[in-house]
Structure 1
Amino acid sequence: MGRYLFRLPDVGEGVAEAEIVVWHVKPGDVVKEDQSLVDVMTDKATVDMTAPVDGVVTAIHGEIGAMLSVGSVLVELAVEGQGNAEADIVVDAVPAAPAPSPEPGPAASDPLPPPAPSPPPSSPAKPAVFAARAEGDAPLASPATRARAFARGVALQFVPGTGPGGRITPDDLDAYLASDGAAAVGDVRYAARDGVNDTKIIGLRRKIAEKMQEAKRRIPHIAYVEEADVTELEKLRQDLNAHRKPDQPKLTLLPFFMQALVRALPDFPQINARYDDDAGVLHAYDGIHIGIATQTPGGLMVPVVRHAESRDIWGLAAEVARVTAAARDGTAARGDLSGSTITITSLGTLGGIATTPVINHPEVAIIGPNKIVERPVVDGSFVTVRKMMNLSSSFDHRIVDGYDAALFVQRLKRLIEHPALLFMD
């Protein structure tokens, strides 16, 4: 039998290290070529590492959440033949995760475990649980007793009264407080909770945290919010959906906003850009590559619709559906998750009144449509109901002046409010 060392390969695009996200094997497992060994996450995507040969796993290196550099040993395998490593090579890597013990108890040669500590003396029994009043049966108490109960955070509904007619006396309140409320009459609404749940932030959530921290630390944000009347846009969207062909995707508002960006950005090249602040260089792009902030089971991801300028409204909708679905089910390629030049983020019906979206570094702008609400709007001498939406945005103030940011959003507003302009040359 030989020894095979499977090392973290160079996954390209300048990636120097990766994080261990999920182990699919453990020591002792028999694996076949191309079988999944471990998932690792780079700053680009999650990558499934598969076995290059058949063998038996003898050791795995690195706990979940550990960062390993390219070239580090991930898995050791016992293989037929010579393998790729001599038996006396010492691997400099994270210690292997221990294999689960096959026996439920200690071996005969193991030292006996220390005796369990004696249980603490039993605590005095608490008073019996009080009985709550029937629903709608208001508690009786003097103003002074009510004020004292309010100051102590006690709901008098659950305090038994021994006074005339069930009136709650000061002594009744003292007895209730001395009993810790007896778990609030079995009602957990008022039970104190002291638990602390610790969760290690790893994988995609850690990448999101790092990206957000980097963006807020490096980019001085300027926020701008404008309202837009989307009544006509909604009419157009609904009509197009009602008459679409069987092979055409259903249209949401998102492709229309993307089309508006395609129309507006050529006049604002400094906004369709990525800023390398280390080198002091702004890369302004002719192609428009729109990131779509997408909520996935693991957290926020930003798949990219490339060359939006080359697609019609149906093509934009189809590509949005493709890349967001791939992000959600974990099949997105690295190219689908990088290279955006501007990002749209939307919470749909949860969009709220306004947001202050965080720029997707190293981009310089992000657009955030909010939810649509019907509001009365003054139209000349009349008041009419219109579908209104607030359009939130953030810009890198090092690159985009407030005046230019306002001009850009006003251009988007005009295109959205007069959707025929989206299709005019």
Structure 2
Amino acid sequence: MSKKGAPETRSSSRRQFLKSAGLTGAVMAAGARSAWSQAANAESNPENLPPHVADWSKYPGQGVADRPYGKPSKFEAHVVRRDVEWLTATRQSSVNFTPWHELDGIITPNGLCFERHHGGAPDISPADHRLMIHGLVDKPLIFSMSDILRMPRVNRVFFLECAANSGMEWRGPQLNGCQFTHGMIHNVMYTGVPLKVVLNEVGLKPNAKWLLVEGGDAAGMNRSLPMEKALDDCLLAFKMNGEALRPEQGYPLRLVVPGWEGNIWVKWLRRIEVGDKPWLAREETSKYTDLMADGRARRFTFVMDAKSVITNPSPQAPLRFRGQNVLTGIAWSGRGAITRVDVTLDGGRNWREARIDGPVLERSVTRFYVDFDWQGEELLIQSRCHDSTGYLQPTKNELRAIRGVNSIYHNNGIQTWLVRANGETENVEIS
């Protein structure tokens, strides 16, 4: 009930939901903390500890035919994508989030890559799927999946980030967990055909400047793509991390637009129309526009700027042990490669350079670490990244001073976590 005794509305319940425990309860607490945090608090069975012989060593386990498609251990069943029901009107036009606090390295497992749909995920037979290319071309063609699979292919690792990732945080801390503040991104190896290969097959007219790319889902998603980008590094992808795309990731064919906002990465790709200008009249122009405080708009904000987040410790992965600990996180840039990540434990008074480990690739997630000693003191932890263009990740206040808070897109501001004396961690901001 509201303060006046009126029935609780969706908006009022949302406000209360945001205020209650910083969202550590409700949708996020149930099974949302890391496996290692759970293990730290779980009581072990003394009969399974040395010098005893553990139960699982006394009898045969499952055979090779018992799991034809491998699955994680049952003790990792809580490691899943999660959604926030009230974010959208329906689950078919909604989003779920990658559990980055549960992951390490740079590659996102296929089953944990976040989803964003506008009309639900269709289940398409590759035998029935076709890609039509027409418009300002010399030879309009329709390609089957068999046609595409016989073309020269490449393997590339890229991140895919929704422009609304961290969008709820523009006006201050809202969602208490890096899965929810930064979970609309994943990083995989795509296998596919360079888009320029099929464009060369149809032949481009001299005045061909833009593409309209259209998906085969119920929403009929279509987006405009500049020809310069299309001929540079875009892919027609049919595999990710070595296996076929999942239905929710665009099976059997999707567009990959490296370093650019995810809404242009059209899934279930079925049509490309070549033209001489963008098709803004046929689209939601807001998808390429960020409204600023003075009423002007940043137009065609395609590129995702450099960004980072500490994933552990974080609200869903609190500190549990005093002494030696490992801080880790991810950084990425749509303009190039990550060259350095700095970390502070005291809210920005002192910074130290993090250790980058694993592959460092352009327009890919990069993993960083800091080994540190913790004795129960409160910490204000942040990360900031530098990319190969010389760009330094800004603070949220630096972004707001220029752009205001009217948009939910392209928030790449520095994230702050407060680690309390008991290890519990919260989403906060500092000036």
Q: TM-score, normalised by structure 1?
A: 0.21
Q: Which has the higher contact order (CA 8 A, sep 6+)?
A: 2
Higher helix share: 1
TM-score where L is the length of structure 2: 0.21
